[in-house]
Amino acid sequence: MAKAKIAFYWCASCGGCEEAQVDLADKLFDLIEAADIVLWPVAMDFKKEDVEKVGDGSIDVAIINGGIRMSEHEEMVKLLRRKSKLVIAYGSCAHMGGIPALTNAYTRESILKYVYEEAPTVTNPEGKRPKTRVSVDEMDFELPEFLEYLDPLDAVIDVDYYIPGCPPTPEITWEAVSSILSGNLPPKGHVFGSDRALCYECPLNETKPEKVTLDTIKRVHQTELDPNKCYLTQGVLCMGPVTRGGCKALCIKGNMPCTGCFGPVDGVSYQGAKALSYFSSVINIDDEDAFRKLVEEVGVDPLGWFSKYCLGKGTIKRR
Amino acid sequence: MSGEFEPKIVVIACHWCTYQAINLAGTSRMKYPPNVRTIRVMCSGRTDPQFVIEAFRNGADGVLVAGCHPGDCHYVNGNMKTMRRTVLLEKMLEQMGIEKGRFRREWISAAEAKKWVDVVTEMVDQIKKLGPLKLAGRGDE
């Protein structure tokens, strides 16, 4: 049997996903044993032309991380979709927009204005902005355009599987890649990881009472967390109840409540709304004024707290 | 069809109070604007915030969640969950740039047909003034 062909690509990403792929460590040898890597910008010198040359559908798996922020990302993922049998969205950004999708709460214009003019570290008296076309020494250059919204991968192309996480753990990466390369394909749309919420695998689950009710809300930096007691019962937001397990509760073991990077469990499309819903349910304040006062005092930031990684799935677009 | 902007408003109404108030408004032959599409739920506490986001994503210009007055919930405290959710949701929609007035929560009892008519009329007027969803607030804070 011919060796499988595998492509990696990055879009709007921070580099953490590439780091996670490199963290496969000795498993990388097993990967090279089983497959030829035909594109991997972080580690190998293949170009867009190399991908254009191969036949449609001749790449077996394309693993794409990062959200779709620039027109270049859109062009590349459409090319990879055409050339690949399977496309995997890798990491929170490709899966749900990730942290960069929080920019969807701002207009493109206000982002560019801040970044190129208003940021305290920027000096730009002529108010220069990026252009899509520029001529230097009579040579014309075409540059990618900054899009209005940051979209998750499946808003632009058809996606077969998702590997969640910010970044995905090397274990879950290997589990997904090895099962796909061995031909053991899950149903389309499958998200790797557990199919139950994080609480089921959380070491602190035993300390959780049957019914959690909170009289107040605290922020992580305002409270000294007891590492041996369910964080939610200590009054801070833990996204565990609305987040897919599979990460082995890494953050919890590091004395940090879950922030939700594995995304929602099956059946939920927008984790941020679901999290807002669950958190409101456990708070035990029935007086509206008292609740509003608490929300203001604590500085509850619903978008940042509940949609840290998933705003790409909940963005309401202008009409 | 006139050229005037006709907003689409999704109403999520509790079966035991607001939905009955809407019925009462109808049987009493009260008039209210035809811009509302009502979805009945057994309790306003059934309103998953995803429904509201989904309505806006799919073309609603406004969303109204309406339930029983505090203390009157058929299921004891479902509307208290609605209260807390809508306070946070309102804040979240504002962060997303949705103009004030497009999302509203009201307590309307089964007897308050007049209140239903007033709320809907006011909301439609307000959203007509705002026009289609512009999300103009995005980043202007």
Q: How far apart are CA A194 and CA B53, in angstroms?
A: 26
The answer to whether B48 contacts A295, with C-beta atoms less than 8 Å apart, is no
The answer to whether B139 contacts A109, with C-beta atoms less than 8 Å apart, is yes
Per-residue model confidence (pLDDT) at position B27 = 97
The answer to whether B49 contacts A315, with C-beta atoms less than 8 Å apart, is no
pLDDT tens per residue across span A88-143: 999 999 999 999 999 999 989 989 999 999 999 999 999 899 999 999 999 999 99
Q: Which residues of chain B are within 8 Å of residue A303 when distances are taken between CB atoms?
A: 92, 95-96
In Å, what is the CA distance from B99 to each residue of B62, B138, B140? Answer: 10, 9, 12
Per-residue model confidence (pLDDT) at position B17 = 97
Question: Residue B103 pLDDT > 60, yes or no?
Answer: yes
Q: Which residues of chain B are within 8 Å of residue A295 when distances are taken between CB atoms?
A: 87-88, 91
Question: Residue B3 pLDDT > 80, yes or no?
Answer: no
Q: Which residues of chain A are within 8 Å of residue B57 when distances are taken between CB atoms?
A: 314-317
Q: Does 1.20.58.110 match the CATH number of domain A4-99+149-181?
A: no
Q: Which residues of chain B are within 8 Å of residue A268 when distances are taken between CB atoms?
A: 50
Structure tokens at B5: 């902007």
Average pLDDT score over chain B: 93
Which letter, b or e, does each residue of A249-275 get, where b requires 16 or more Cβ atoms within 10 Å of its Cβ? bebbeeeebbbbbbbbbeebebbbbbb
Per-residue model confidence (pLDDT) at position A1 = 57
In a domain, B14, yes or no: yes
Residue of A104, A115, A316 best to disrupt the B interface, most CBs of B under 10 A:
A316
Question: Residue B86 pLDDT > 80, yes or no?
Answer: yes
Give the Cα-Cα-Cα angle A146, A106, A70 (nearest 5 degrees): 15
What is the average per-residue pLDDT within B115-123?
98
In a domain, B141, yes or no: no
In a domain, B3, yes or no: no
Write out the residue range of the structural domain in which residue B116 sits. Answer: 9-130
Q: How many domains does chain B have?
A: 1
Per-residue model confidence (pLDDT) at position B138 = 59
Structure tokens at A22: 């490199």
Name the pTM for this structure. 0.92
Q: In which band, very low, low, confident or very high, does the pLDDT at B136 lie, cut at 50, 70 and 90?
A: low
Biggest alpha carbon distance in chain A?
72
Neighbours of A59 (CB within 10 A): 23
Per-residue model confidence (pLDDT) at position B141 = 44
CB A250 within 8 A of CB A169: yes
Residues with pLDDT less than 50, chain A: none
CB A12 within 8 A of CB A100: yes
Per-residue model confidence (pLDDT) at position A264 = 97
Q: In which band, very low, low, confident or very high, does the pLDDT at B2 lie, cut at 50, 70 and 90?
A: low
The CATH number of the domain where B41 resides is what?
Answer: 3.40.50
